[in-house]
Amino acid sequence: MKKHIHTLAIMAVALNTALAQSKFKEVEIDGVAGFQDTPMQPDGKWHVHDPARPQPPIVTPGTFSQMAPPPSDAIVLFDGKDLTQWVDKKTGGPVGWSVVDGAAVSAKGDIQTTARFGDIQLHLEFREPTPPKESGQGRGNSGVFFMGQYEIQVLDCYNNKTYADGATGGLYGQHPALANACRPPGEWQTYDIVFNVPHFGANGELVSPAYVTVILNGVVVQNHQAFRGATNWRVPGTYTPHGPTGPLALQYHNNSVAFRNIWVRPVPVVDEK
Ligand code: MG
């Protein structure tokens, strides 16, 4: 059975690779660049990265707390001083990011924590580059990857349209945010996120998906939303069985996005069965 699942996993990877390599044609609808020849989302209404999918409604945030001291039991991952708890995601070696005026600035490659986490509460603050450059996915792109593979998008979506499933607060390529609560580039913004790990059975079958609740600048933009699997470009999400913990990763996507005040708290879900 295990071998069978392994074969299926290889086939899924091969299919994803084949899809990624086929010639998708970018189209623009109402100023939004995206794709309409990608696979359909399971809802049967929209393609992955469909430019016609409705944009998250703009909600101007109220007041929200920045640079608040972490709770007493928080695991502080970046306090403005150094990135010693992080490594380069690809090489496992030193990070290519720099620390400037108390902020970690993305460069060269994705980074991830040396520590591994399961269910967590995460707080972090991010700042998009100003003046803004480029548009769509090219403007201030980064991302928060739970277990190294489930992305909540970080993008400058202030006066910048992109396909809905790739906007800030979205489960990348899967589920758009409920609202666009972005602050302008150059201003600090907050993410408070609760992430629940997916669970797999003895044969690698999915028992329960990963869930995420996301608060952007004090506004709930995802409410216990399920991931359909690892997030990726132009492909639907697929799950590959994995263990109960994984690293937290931050994306470098050719833009210098700054981060500060990063901390997590383990918040295990109690199984009462
Ligand atoms: Mg991203």
Residues in the chain where the model's pLDDT stays below 50? 1-3
Would you say residue 242 lies in a domain? Answer: yes
Ligand 1 centroid, distance to 182 Cα (angstroms): 15
Domain range for 237 is 57-266
Would you say residue 259 lies in a domain? Answer: yes
Give the residue carrying structure tokens 């150094």.
Answer: 82
Would you say residue 77 lies in a domain? Answer: yes
Ligand 1 centroid, distance to 142 Cα (angstroms): 4
Would you say residue 48 lies in a domain? Answer: no
What is the rounded CA–CA span in Å between residue 152 and residue 169?
Answer: 6
Ligand 1 centroid, distance to 10 Cα (angstroms): 25
Would you say residue 19 lies in a domain? Answer: no
pLDDT of 4 reads 53
Residue type, 261: N
pLDDT of 82 reads 98
Around Cβ 77, how many Cβ atoms within 10 Å? 24
Neighbouring residues of 73: CB distance < 8 A, sequence distance ≥ 6:
265
Ligand 1 centroid, distance to 3 Cα (angstroms): 33
Ligand 1 centroid, distance to 7 Cα (angstroms): 29
Neighbouring residues of 102: CB distance < 8 A, sequence distance ≥ 6:
80, 81, 260
What is the rounded CA–CA span in Å between residue 65 and residue 62?
Answer: 10
Residue 218, domain CATH: 2.60.120.560
pLDDT tens for each residue of 178-228: 999 999 999 999 999 999 999 999 999 999 999 999 999 999 999 999 999
pLDDT of 23 reads 75
Would you say residue 100 lies in a domain? Answer: yes
Would you say residue 49 lies in a domain? Answer: no
Question: How many structural domains comprise the chain?
Answer: 1
Around Cβ 192, how many Cβ atoms within 10 Å? 17
Would you say residue 50 lies in a domain? Answer: no
